[in-house]
Structure 1
Amino acid sequence: MRRLYVVAHPEATHHVEHRVGGWFDSALAERGRAHAAAIAARLRELIPAADRIELYSSDLRRAAETAKPIARSFEADTVLLRDLREKSYGVAGGRPQSWLDERFVPPPPMGERLDHDEGIDGAETKLQWVTRVYRAVDRISAGTAGQQVVVTHGGSLSWVVAAWLGLPVQACAHAAFRSSAGGITVLEEDDRFHNRTLHTLNDTSHLPARR
Protein backbone atom coordinates (compact mmCIF):
# COMPACT_ATOMS: atom_id res chain seq x y z
CA MET A 1 0.00 0.00 0.00
CA ARG A 2 1.35 3.39 -0.99
CA ARG A 3 0.35 6.30 1.22
CA LEU A 4 0.56 10.04 0.73
CA TYR A 5 0.19 12.19 3.85
CA VAL A 6 -0.79 15.73 2.85
CA VAL A 7 -0.26 18.40 5.52
CA ALA A 8 -1.83 21.85 5.42
CA HIS A 9 0.64 24.12 7.19
CA PRO A 10 -0.59 25.35 10.60
CA GLU A 11 -1.23 28.91 11.75
CA ALA A 12 1.04 31.50 10.16
CA THR A 13 1.63 35.18 10.88
CA HIS A 14 -0.63 36.30 8.02
CA HIS A 15 -3.52 34.44 9.69
CA VAL A 16 -2.91 36.24 12.99
CA GLU A 17 -2.51 39.62 11.29
CA HIS A 18 -5.53 39.09 8.97
CA ARG A 19 -3.43 39.54 5.87
CA VAL A 20 -3.66 37.87 2.47
CA GLY A 21 -1.40 34.83 2.25
CA GLY A 22 -0.93 33.52 -1.26
CA TRP A 23 2.72 33.97 -2.25
CA PHE A 24 3.32 36.42 0.60
CA ASP A 25 6.15 34.68 2.45
CA SER A 26 4.81 34.63 5.99
CA ALA A 27 6.34 32.53 8.76
CA LEU A 28 4.66 30.19 11.22
CA ALA A 29 3.12 31.93 14.21
CA GLU A 30 3.95 30.76 17.73
CA ARG A 31 0.88 28.53 17.80
CA GLY A 32 1.78 27.23 14.35
CA ARG A 33 5.27 26.19 15.47
CA ALA A 34 3.78 24.19 18.35
CA HIS A 35 1.33 22.56 15.93
CA ALA A 36 4.14 21.71 13.51
CA ALA A 37 5.77 19.65 16.26
CA ALA A 38 2.43 17.92 16.93
CA ILE A 39 2.08 17.14 13.22
CA ALA A 40 5.53 15.54 13.14
CA ALA A 41 4.70 13.45 16.21
CA ARG A 42 1.40 12.28 14.66
CA LEU A 43 3.10 11.28 11.42
CA ARG A 44 5.66 9.34 13.44
CA GLU A 45 2.74 7.38 14.93
CA LEU A 46 1.10 6.75 11.56
CA ILE A 47 4.16 5.72 9.55
CA PRO A 48 5.93 2.43 10.43
CA ALA A 49 9.34 3.04 11.97
CA ALA A 50 11.11 0.85 9.42
CA ASP A 51 9.65 2.64 6.39
CA ARG A 52 11.57 5.22 4.39
CA ILE A 53 9.71 8.40 3.53
CA GLU A 54 10.01 11.03 0.84
CA LEU A 55 9.24 14.54 2.07
CA TYR A 56 8.05 17.31 -0.24
CA SER A 57 7.11 20.86 0.68
CA SER A 58 6.07 24.16 -0.80
CA ASP A 59 9.07 26.47 -0.82
CA LEU A 60 7.20 29.24 1.01
CA ARG A 61 8.57 29.83 4.50
CA ARG A 62 5.51 28.77 6.50
CA ALA A 63 5.39 25.40 4.72
CA ALA A 64 9.15 24.83 4.86
CA GLU A 65 9.09 25.56 8.60
CA THR A 66 6.32 22.98 9.01
CA ALA A 67 8.45 20.42 7.18
CA LYS A 68 11.51 20.92 9.43
CA PRO A 69 10.35 18.90 12.47
CA ILE A 70 9.07 16.19 10.13
CA ALA A 71 12.45 16.01 8.44
CA ARG A 72 14.20 15.76 11.82
CA SER A 73 11.84 13.06 13.07
CA PHE A 74 12.34 10.87 10.00
CA GLU A 75 15.93 11.88 9.21
CA ALA A 76 14.73 12.80 5.73
CA ASP A 77 15.71 15.47 3.25
CA THR A 78 13.04 17.95 2.19
CA VAL A 79 12.41 18.49 -1.51
CA LEU A 80 11.10 22.04 -1.97
CA LEU A 81 8.65 22.42 -4.84
CA ARG A 82 7.56 25.87 -5.96
CA ASP A 83 4.55 24.29 -7.67
CA LEU A 84 3.08 23.38 -4.25
CA ARG A 85 2.64 27.04 -3.32
CA GLU A 86 -0.73 28.52 -2.45
CA LYS A 87 -2.58 30.50 -5.10
CA SER A 88 -0.90 33.78 -6.01
CA TYR A 89 -3.08 36.78 -5.26
CA GLY A 90 -0.76 39.13 -7.12
CA VAL A 91 -0.65 42.66 -5.70
CA ALA A 92 -2.97 41.61 -2.86
CA GLY A 93 -0.36 39.34 -1.25
CA GLY A 94 0.50 40.61 2.24
CA ARG A 95 -2.17 43.32 2.20
CA PRO A 96 -5.02 43.38 4.73
CA GLN A 97 -7.62 40.71 3.94
CA SER A 98 -10.25 43.47 3.83
CA TRP A 99 -8.39 45.08 0.89
CA LEU A 100 -8.78 41.89 -1.15
CA ASP A 101 -12.37 41.30 -0.05
CA GLU A 102 -13.40 44.74 -1.33
CA ARG A 103 -11.94 44.12 -4.80
CA PHE A 104 -12.30 40.38 -5.38
CA VAL A 105 -14.65 39.36 -8.20
CA PRO A 106 -16.01 35.87 -7.39
CA PRO A 107 -16.51 33.35 -10.20
CA PRO A 108 -20.01 32.74 -11.59
CA PRO A 109 -21.91 29.67 -10.36
CA MET A 110 -21.83 28.25 -13.90
CA GLY A 111 -19.89 29.01 -17.06
CA GLU A 112 -16.21 29.95 -17.13
CA ARG A 113 -14.85 29.42 -13.63
CA LEU A 114 -11.30 28.17 -14.18
CA ASP A 115 -10.02 31.04 -16.33
CA HIS A 116 -12.17 33.65 -14.59
CA ASP A 117 -10.58 37.08 -13.99
CA GLU A 118 -10.88 37.87 -10.26
CA GLY A 119 -10.00 41.53 -10.79
CA ILE A 120 -6.65 41.49 -8.92
CA ASP A 121 -3.53 42.54 -10.83
CA GLY A 122 -0.94 39.79 -11.10
CA ALA A 123 -3.14 37.10 -9.53
CA GLU A 124 -3.17 33.57 -10.90
CA THR A 125 -6.34 32.26 -12.45
CA LYS A 126 -7.69 29.10 -10.90
CA LEU A 127 -6.62 27.24 -14.04
CA GLN A 128 -3.01 28.38 -13.64
CA TRP A 129 -3.06 27.45 -9.96
CA VAL A 130 -4.56 23.99 -10.48
CA THR A 131 -2.29 23.21 -13.43
CA ARG A 132 0.93 23.83 -11.51
CA VAL A 133 -0.21 21.83 -8.45
CA TYR A 134 -1.08 18.94 -10.77
CA ARG A 135 2.46 19.24 -12.13
CA ALA A 136 3.82 18.94 -8.57
CA VAL A 137 1.78 15.79 -7.99
CA ASP A 138 3.21 14.29 -11.18
CA ARG A 139 6.67 14.92 -9.72
CA ILE A 140 5.70 13.37 -6.38
CA SER A 141 4.03 10.35 -8.01
CA ALA A 142 7.32 9.58 -9.76
CA GLY A 143 8.92 8.99 -6.36
CA THR A 144 9.72 5.46 -5.21
CA ALA A 145 8.98 5.53 -1.47
CA GLY A 146 5.87 3.78 -0.21
CA GLN A 147 5.32 6.55 2.33
CA GLN A 148 5.36 10.16 1.14
CA VAL A 149 4.65 13.36 3.05
CA VAL A 150 3.58 16.56 1.29
CA VAL A 151 3.44 19.92 3.09
CA THR A 152 1.34 22.46 1.27
CA HIS A 153 -1.36 25.09 1.87
CA GLY A 154 -5.06 24.81 2.66
CA GLY A 155 -6.17 25.86 -0.81
CA SER A 156 -3.59 23.91 -2.79
CA LEU A 157 -4.37 20.77 -0.80
CA SER A 158 -7.61 20.46 -2.81
CA TRP A 159 -5.65 20.14 -6.05
CA VAL A 160 -3.18 17.65 -4.56
CA VAL A 161 -6.14 15.43 -3.70
CA ALA A 162 -7.84 15.96 -7.07
CA ALA A 163 -4.64 15.20 -8.98
CA TRP A 164 -3.97 12.08 -6.89
CA LEU A 165 -7.49 10.78 -7.63
CA GLY A 166 -7.02 11.43 -11.34
CA LEU A 167 -9.79 13.99 -11.65
CA PRO A 168 -9.55 16.00 -14.87
CA VAL A 169 -8.52 19.62 -14.41
CA GLN A 170 -11.97 20.71 -15.58
CA ALA A 171 -13.52 18.99 -12.54
CA CYS A 172 -11.68 21.50 -10.35
CA ALA A 173 -14.02 24.22 -11.57
CA HIS A 174 -16.31 23.10 -8.74
CA ALA A 175 -14.52 20.35 -6.79
CA ALA A 176 -13.00 21.21 -3.40
CA PHE A 177 -11.57 19.25 -0.47
CA ARG A 178 -11.49 21.53 2.54
CA SER A 179 -8.72 21.36 5.13
CA SER A 180 -8.04 23.50 8.16
CA ALA A 181 -4.61 24.74 9.25
CA GLY A 182 -2.55 21.84 10.57
CA GLY A 183 -4.85 19.12 9.22
CA ILE A 184 -3.50 15.85 7.84
CA THR A 185 -5.13 14.22 4.81
CA VAL A 186 -4.24 10.62 3.92
CA LEU A 187 -4.34 9.28 0.36
CA GLU A 188 -3.76 5.63 -0.55
CA GLU A 189 -2.95 3.51 -3.59
CA ASP A 190 -3.32 -0.26 -3.35
CA ASP A 191 -0.60 -2.56 -4.66
CA ARG A 192 -2.80 -4.88 -6.71
CA PHE A 193 -5.29 -2.77 -8.63
CA HIS A 194 -3.52 0.59 -8.14
CA ASN A 195 -6.81 2.20 -7.23
CA ARG A 196 -6.41 5.50 -5.41
CA THR A 197 -8.49 6.45 -2.41
CA LEU A 198 -9.11 9.47 -0.24
CA HIS A 199 -8.70 7.64 3.07
CA THR A 200 -8.84 10.53 5.57
CA LEU A 201 -9.65 14.19 4.99
CA ASN A 202 -8.44 16.87 7.39
CA ASP A 203 -7.62 14.90 10.54
CA THR A 204 -6.97 17.43 13.32
CA SER A 205 -7.12 15.07 16.31
CA HIS A 206 -3.40 15.63 16.96
CA LEU A 207 -3.85 19.36 17.50
CA PRO A 208 -4.47 20.70 21.03
CA ALA A 209 -7.83 22.36 21.54
CA ARG A 210 -7.89 26.15 21.36
CA ARG A 211 -8.20 27.74 24.80
Structure 2
Amino acid sequence: MPTQVLFIRHGETDWNRIKRIQGHIDIPLAESGIDQAQRLAERLARDARDAARLDAIYSSDLRRAQQTAQPAATALGLELRLVEALRERAYGVFQGHDSREIAQRYPDEYARWQTRDPGFAPEGGESVRSFYHRVLHAVDEIVRAHPDGRIACVTHGGVLDCVYRRACGLPLDAARNYPLLNTSINTVEFVEDGTARVLSWADIAHLSVASDDDGLARREGQG
Protein backbone atom coordinates (compact mmCIF):
# COMPACT_ATOMS: atom_id res chain seq x y z
CA MET A 1 0.00 0.00 0.00
CA PRO A 2 1.26 3.52 -0.74
CA THR A 3 1.66 6.39 1.72
CA GLN A 4 -0.85 9.20 1.30
CA VAL A 5 0.20 12.72 2.25
CA LEU A 6 -2.10 15.71 2.60
CA PHE A 7 0.04 18.75 1.84
CA ILE A 8 -1.70 21.80 3.29
CA ARG A 9 -0.68 25.38 2.72
CA HIS A 10 -0.86 27.64 5.77
CA GLY A 11 -3.74 30.05 6.27
CA GLU A 12 -3.80 33.61 5.03
CA THR A 13 -1.46 36.23 6.49
CA ASP A 14 -1.59 40.00 6.18
CA TRP A 15 1.47 39.82 3.92
CA ASN A 16 -0.28 37.36 1.61
CA ARG A 17 -2.95 39.98 1.05
CA ILE A 18 -0.47 42.63 -0.07
CA LYS A 19 1.74 40.21 -2.04
CA ARG A 20 4.79 40.75 0.17
CA ILE A 21 7.39 37.99 0.17
CA GLN A 22 7.60 36.25 3.53
CA GLY A 23 10.16 33.49 2.97
CA HIS A 24 11.68 32.72 6.38
CA ILE A 25 10.27 35.83 8.09
CA ASP A 26 8.02 34.52 10.87
CA ILE A 27 4.71 36.19 10.04
CA PRO A 28 1.58 35.12 12.00
CA LEU A 29 -1.80 34.33 10.52
CA ALA A 30 -4.30 37.09 9.86
CA GLU A 31 -7.73 36.82 11.47
CA SER A 32 -8.96 35.30 8.21
CA GLY A 33 -6.17 32.72 8.41
CA ILE A 34 -7.11 31.79 11.97
CA ASP A 35 -10.67 31.17 10.79
CA GLN A 36 -9.35 29.07 7.90
CA ALA A 37 -7.28 26.99 10.31
CA GLN A 38 -10.33 26.27 12.46
CA ARG A 39 -12.35 25.23 9.43
CA LEU A 40 -9.50 22.97 8.35
CA ALA A 41 -9.50 21.33 11.79
CA GLU A 42 -13.24 20.74 11.60
CA ARG A 43 -12.86 19.20 8.12
CA LEU A 44 -10.09 16.81 9.19
CA ALA A 45 -12.02 15.83 12.31
CA ARG A 46 -15.10 15.02 10.20
CA ASP A 47 -12.95 13.00 7.80
CA ALA A 48 -11.49 11.07 10.74
CA ARG A 49 -14.98 10.20 11.96
CA ASP A 50 -15.69 8.90 8.45
CA ALA A 51 -12.70 6.51 8.67
CA ALA A 52 -10.19 8.83 6.96
CA ARG A 53 -7.95 8.99 10.02
CA LEU A 54 -4.57 10.70 10.00
CA ASP A 55 -1.61 8.88 11.53
CA ALA A 56 0.47 12.03 12.10
CA ILE A 57 0.56 15.77 11.46
CA TYR A 58 3.80 17.49 10.52
CA SER A 59 4.36 21.22 10.18
CA SER A 60 6.95 23.74 9.14
CA ASP A 61 8.35 25.40 12.25
CA LEU A 62 7.35 28.87 11.01
CA ARG A 63 4.51 30.38 13.01
CA ARG A 64 1.99 30.71 10.18
CA ALA A 65 2.22 26.98 9.50
CA GLN A 66 2.13 26.01 13.18
CA GLN A 67 -0.93 28.20 13.78
CA THR A 68 -2.66 26.46 10.88
CA ALA A 69 -1.73 22.95 11.97
CA GLN A 70 -2.26 23.12 15.74
CA PRO A 71 -6.09 23.26 15.78
CA ALA A 72 -6.21 20.13 13.61
CA ALA A 73 -3.63 18.33 15.74
CA THR A 74 -5.60 19.20 18.87
CA ALA A 75 -8.91 18.10 17.34
CA LEU A 76 -7.40 14.75 16.34
CA GLY A 77 -5.43 14.20 19.54
CA LEU A 78 -2.12 14.12 17.68
CA GLU A 79 1.25 15.60 18.57
CA LEU A 80 2.30 18.33 16.14
CA ARG A 81 5.70 17.38 14.72
CA LEU A 82 7.79 20.37 13.61
CA VAL A 83 10.23 20.02 10.72
CA GLU A 84 12.46 22.99 9.87
CA ALA A 85 13.11 21.60 6.38
CA LEU A 86 9.43 22.12 5.52
CA ARG A 87 9.97 25.89 5.63
CA GLU A 88 9.31 28.14 2.66
CA ARG A 89 12.21 29.01 0.38
CA ALA A 90 14.66 31.49 1.88
CA TYR A 91 14.50 34.63 -0.24
CA GLY A 92 17.33 36.57 1.39
CA VAL A 93 17.23 40.29 0.61
CA PHE A 94 13.93 39.88 -1.28
CA GLN A 95 12.09 39.03 1.95
CA GLY A 96 9.85 41.77 3.29
CA HIS A 97 9.35 43.35 -0.15
CA ASP A 98 6.84 43.01 -2.97
CA SER A 99 7.86 42.55 -6.60
CA ARG A 100 7.79 46.25 -7.41
CA GLU A 101 10.06 47.11 -4.49
CA ILE A 102 12.47 44.32 -5.45
CA ALA A 103 12.65 45.62 -9.03
CA GLN A 104 13.50 49.09 -7.70
CA ARG A 105 15.99 48.06 -5.00
CA TYR A 106 17.70 45.13 -6.71
CA PRO A 107 17.23 45.61 -10.47
CA ASP A 108 19.99 43.19 -11.56
CA GLU A 109 18.88 40.42 -9.23
CA TYR A 110 15.27 41.04 -10.16
CA ALA A 111 16.11 40.57 -13.83
CA ARG A 112 17.82 37.25 -13.04
CA TRP A 113 14.79 36.18 -10.99
CA GLN A 114 12.52 36.81 -13.96
CA THR A 115 14.48 34.37 -16.13
CA ARG A 116 13.35 31.47 -13.87
CA ASP A 117 16.96 30.25 -13.67
CA PRO A 118 16.83 27.37 -11.11
CA GLY A 119 20.38 28.16 -10.03
CA PHE A 120 19.71 31.81 -9.14
CA ALA A 121 19.69 32.71 -5.44
CA PRO A 122 18.99 36.19 -4.08
CA GLU A 123 21.70 37.48 -1.77
CA GLY A 124 21.36 35.54 1.49
CA GLY A 125 18.74 33.19 0.05
CA GLU A 126 18.30 29.81 -1.63
CA SER A 127 18.16 28.91 -5.30
CA VAL A 128 15.10 27.07 -6.56
CA ARG A 129 17.30 24.02 -7.14
CA SER A 130 18.65 23.97 -3.59
CA PHE A 131 15.19 24.58 -2.16
CA TYR A 132 13.69 21.76 -4.26
CA HIS A 133 16.25 19.23 -3.07
CA ARG A 134 15.89 20.36 0.54
CA VAL A 135 12.12 19.91 0.41
CA LEU A 136 12.13 16.54 -1.36
CA HIS A 137 14.72 15.12 1.03
CA ALA A 138 12.52 16.13 3.99
CA VAL A 139 9.38 14.72 2.36
CA ASP A 140 11.11 11.43 1.54
CA GLU A 141 12.20 11.04 5.18
CA ILE A 142 8.66 11.69 6.42
CA VAL A 143 7.15 9.24 3.93
CA ARG A 144 9.63 6.52 4.89
CA ALA A 145 8.59 6.93 8.53
CA HIS A 146 4.95 6.13 7.64
CA PRO A 147 4.79 3.18 5.23
CA ASP A 148 1.19 2.55 4.17
CA GLY A 149 0.14 5.54 6.28
CA ARG A 150 -1.96 8.65 5.86
CA ILE A 151 -0.41 11.86 7.16
CA ALA A 152 -0.62 15.64 6.82
CA CYS A 153 2.17 18.16 6.24
CA VAL A 154 1.21 21.78 6.89
CA THR A 155 3.64 23.95 5.02
CA HIS A 156 4.04 26.71 2.41
CA GLY A 157 3.20 27.50 -1.18
CA GLY A 158 6.74 26.97 -2.40
CA VAL A 159 6.88 23.53 -0.79
CA LEU A 160 3.61 22.55 -2.47
CA ASP A 161 5.07 23.74 -5.75
CA CYS A 162 8.10 21.45 -5.32
CA VAL A 163 5.88 18.47 -4.52
CA TYR A 164 3.63 19.09 -7.53
CA ARG A 165 6.61 19.40 -9.89
CA ARG A 166 8.05 16.13 -8.62
CA ALA A 167 4.77 14.24 -8.91
CA CYS A 168 4.05 15.59 -12.40
CA GLY A 169 7.60 15.58 -13.72
CA LEU A 170 7.68 19.32 -14.37
CA PRO A 171 11.04 21.10 -14.81
CA LEU A 172 12.00 23.74 -12.27
CA ASP A 173 12.05 26.52 -14.86
CA ALA A 174 8.56 25.79 -16.21
CA ALA A 175 5.97 28.50 -15.55
CA ARG A 176 3.37 27.53 -12.97
CA ASN A 177 -0.25 27.10 -14.13
CA TYR A 178 -1.69 25.32 -11.06
CA PRO A 179 -2.94 26.96 -7.85
CA LEU A 180 -1.31 27.07 -4.42
CA LEU A 181 -4.20 28.16 -2.23
CA ASN A 182 -4.17 29.18 1.42
CA THR A 183 -5.39 26.30 3.63
CA SER A 184 -5.96 24.05 0.63
CA ILE A 185 -5.63 20.27 0.93
CA ASN A 186 -3.43 18.76 -1.78
CA THR A 187 -3.26 14.97 -1.65
CA VAL A 188 -0.31 13.06 -3.09
CA GLU A 189 0.34 9.32 -3.07
CA PHE A 190 3.87 7.96 -2.68
CA VAL A 191 4.77 4.38 -3.54
CA GLU A 192 7.78 2.28 -2.54
CA ASP A 193 9.77 2.89 -5.72
CA GLY A 194 9.83 6.61 -4.93
CA THR A 195 7.28 7.71 -7.50
CA ALA A 196 4.43 10.02 -6.58
CA ARG A 197 1.12 11.01 -8.13
CA VAL A 198 -1.38 13.73 -7.37
CA LEU A 199 -4.74 12.37 -6.18
CA SER A 200 -6.43 15.73 -5.68
CA TRP A 201 -5.26 19.34 -5.71
CA ALA A 202 -6.42 22.69 -4.31
CA ASP A 203 -9.32 21.24 -2.28
CA ILE A 204 -10.90 24.09 -0.32
CA ALA A 205 -14.36 22.58 0.21
CA HIS A 206 -13.96 23.23 3.95
CA LEU A 207 -13.66 27.01 3.53
CA SER A 208 -16.59 29.41 3.54
CA VAL A 209 -15.09 31.74 0.91
CA ALA A 210 -12.62 31.29 -1.93
CA SER A 211 -8.98 31.07 -0.97
CA ASP A 212 -6.21 33.13 -2.58
CA ASP A 213 -3.18 32.27 -4.66
CA ASP A 214 -0.89 35.24 -4.21
CA GLY A 215 1.76 34.11 -6.67
CA LEU A 216 0.00 32.71 -9.73
CA ALA A 217 0.67 34.92 -12.78
CA ARG A 218 3.04 36.99 -10.61
CA ARG A 219 6.10 35.61 -8.86
CA GLU A 220 6.07 32.65 -6.51
CA GLY A 221 7.51 33.05 -3.01
CA GLN A 222 4.93 34.90 -0.99
CA GLY A 223 4.05 31.66 0.86
With normalisation by structure 2, the TM-score equals 0.78
Query: 4+ residue stretches of structure 1 with deviation over 6 A?
Result: none
Unaligned runs of 5+ in 1: none
Q: Find the aligned partners of 2:151 and 2:124 in 1 and give their Cα distance.
A: 33
What aligned pairs does 1:181-200 form with structure 2 within 5 A after superposition? 181-189=182-190, 196-200=196-200
CA contact under 8 A between 1:16 and 1:29: conserved in structure 2? no
Residues 20-78 of structure 1, C-alpha deviation per residue, up to 9 Å, x if partnerless? 21111100000000000111122223344483521111111100111100110111111
Cα distance, 1:15–1:52 mapped onto 2, change above 3 Å: closer
CA contact under 8 A between 1:56 and 1:149: conserved in structure 2? yes
Q: Find the aligned partners of 1:166 and 1:142 in 2 and give their Cα distance.
A: 20
CA contact under 8 A between 1:53 and 1:74: conserved in structure 2? no
Offset of 1:96 from its aligned partner? 4.8
The range that moved more, 25-34 or 98-107, is 98-107
Offset of 1:151 from its aligned partner? 0.5
**Structure 2 residue aligned with 1:114:** 118
**Structure 1 residue aligned with 2:220:** none
**Structure 1 residue aligned with 2:127:** 125
**Structure 1 residue aligned with 2:156:** 153
Cα distance, 1:209–1:172 mapped onto 2, change above 3 Å: same
CA contact under 8 A between 1:6 and 1:149: conserved in structure 2? yes
Offset of 1:132 from its aligned partner? 0.6
**Structure 2 residue aligned with 1:64:** 66
Taking only the aligned residue pairs, the percentage that are identical comes to: 29
Unaligned runs of 5+ in 2: 211-223
Cα distance, 1:86–1:52 mapped onto 2, change above 3 Å: closer
